[in-house]
A and B are shown apart, each in its own frame.
Chain A
Amino acid sequence: MSYNEFRIKRIDTFEKEIMEEVQYLLKQNDLTVDLFLEERIGIFDGKKLIATGGIKGNTLRCIAVDKAHQGGRVLNILIGELLNIQYHRNVNHIFLFTKPASKRSFEFLGFHVVEEVNNEVVLMENRQDGLASYLKGLSKHKVDGEKIGSIVINGNPFTLGHRYLIERAGRENDYLHIFVLSSDESSFPYRVRMQLIEEGTNDINNITIHGGGDYIISSATFPSYFIKEESNIVGLHAALDVNIFGKYIAPCLGINRRYVGEEPYCAVTREYNKTMEKILPQYGIELVEIPRKGFEGGYISASKVREAIGKDEIEKIKGLVPPSTYSFLISEEGEKVIKRVKAYSTKRH
């Protein structure tokens, strides 16, 4: 496709020379290369790369325009093309991160601020009513009470550790809202994670299970959960996500407590918990950190379950998961998921 003198081209990660230019352009704009994008395009002026941008899920990533072409039509062409690609992928609710200085440029292109943190990072979406309409849907599930708890879990897969946390939070609160991460970047697909959480908690009456949607630890609000990032970026992303939760989601359901399990393993999750500890009280939400449930001298964790699956030691899982998760894993459908888990075994979440 061409726009007069500019050429737009898809870029493959193995095109070494062009990728070097991409890296240079990103660096010029203080950005790092994400190698795991689903799409990457470049705009060329003759042979020279003057702009690049990419797509992952419902987000636009790694967007950079050569300094000499900033403030002109190049950004418009770039974003227009990325939105066009998203349209053909059937993705129409789109997010991007940018620096506050570039906020105006994206506002001209129909993006709206969801949340801004520390004058350092802004999350934007292409819908004026995006967050508002999500909150409107959520508020229908509001239950009155004095102590309203919340838990956000991935449940990859649902273990006795999750069960322990939910039981305890359910007992200590009048009502409990559970949010299940909906990004499909974990080894257990969203649908299965959701199903196992529902089955594993169906005897507890004072809870509602929600899909986390785009605004709770999604690849839009907290991409660091799914990709490795430098720690200052992790902190910023975490602050963004926690602010959205505290400022918008919690008040909408009257939530005044958030429960987490202590994190002995993963540095990103630990950083996230630390951020919650700092930010949530500002919104009148108490963070309750519960020590993990022990098992045979260690702790129960979903990653241990995946590790055992990877080693074909399904028997070992019995003590770590509720019967519902176990019987799923030995079912025919479970077999398919196990194959997927094995293929993912190098990933963290």
Chain B
Amino acid sequence: MKIVKTGMAGTMESSDINITIEKNQESGIKIYLTSSVEKQFGDQIRKVILETLEQMKVNDVVVRAVDRGALDCTIRARVQSAAMRGAMSENQIDWGLF
């Protein structure tokens, strides 16, 4: 999936995560995470974001995540939405991917 513009999903509310995905001028996936539970779950959150992107075959992006204690399923859903908005394919979802 090719990211063509900035995609954003999620809110700043408790138990949610706000995800912004944009093209990376360099190669690879870079994740910037702000989390109220960084110390306990920072690595886990990064792992879920990365896995979700890999599943969707999204490469070369910068991800900015502002987490307010979201569960893994929420994180996955927000990353998926943000990526699809960024790829401008919100209305052509390939459910087989998930």
User: A residues within 8 Å of B by Cβ?
Assistant: 3, 73, 76-77, 79-80, 83-84, 87, 90, 92, 107-110, 126-129
Question: Is A92 a contact of B22 with CB atoms below 8 Å?
Answer: yes
Of B12-20, B40-48, B73-81, the one with at least 4 CB within 8 A of chain A? B12-20
Chain B interface residue count, CB cutoff 8 Å, equals 16
Nearest Cβ on chain A to B79's Cβ, whole angstroms: 15
- A/B pair count, beta carbons within 8 Å: 47
Are the C-beta atoms of A110 and B8 separated by less than 8 Å?
no
A76 to B20: give the CA distance in the assembly, Å: 16
* Beta-carbon nearest neighbor of B34 in chain A: A110
16 contacts between A and B (CB under 8 A): A3-B13, A73-B13, A76-B11, A76-B12, A76-B14, A77-B13, A80-B11, A84-B11, A87-B20, A92-B20, A108-B36, A109-B66, A110-B34, A110-B64, A110-B66, A128-B32
Of the candidates A87, A92, A109, A128, the one whose C-beta lies within 8 Å of that of B12 is A109
Task: Mark contacts of B3-29 with chain A using CB atoms, 8 A cut-off: 1 yes-contact digit, 0 otherwise.
Answer: 001101001111000101010000000
* A126 lies within 8 A of B13 (CB): no
- Nearest B residue to A127 via CB reads B64
Residue of B8, B11, B12, B22 with most chain A CB atoms under a 10 A cut-off = B12
Q: Are B32 and A127 in contact (CB under 8 A)?
A: yes
Q: Are A83 and B18 in contact (CB under 8 A)?
A: yes
Minimal beta-carbon separation of B38 from chain A (angstroms): 10
A107 and B6 in contact, given A76-B12, A92-B20 (Cβ under 8 angstroms): no
Q: How far is the CB of A44 from chain B (nearest CB, A)?
A: 17
Is the beta-carbon distance between B12 and A107 smaller than 8 angstroms?
no
Q: Given A87, A92, A107, which contacts B34 in the complex, CB threshold below 8 Å?
A: A107
Are B13 and A76 in touch, CB under 8 angstroms?
yes
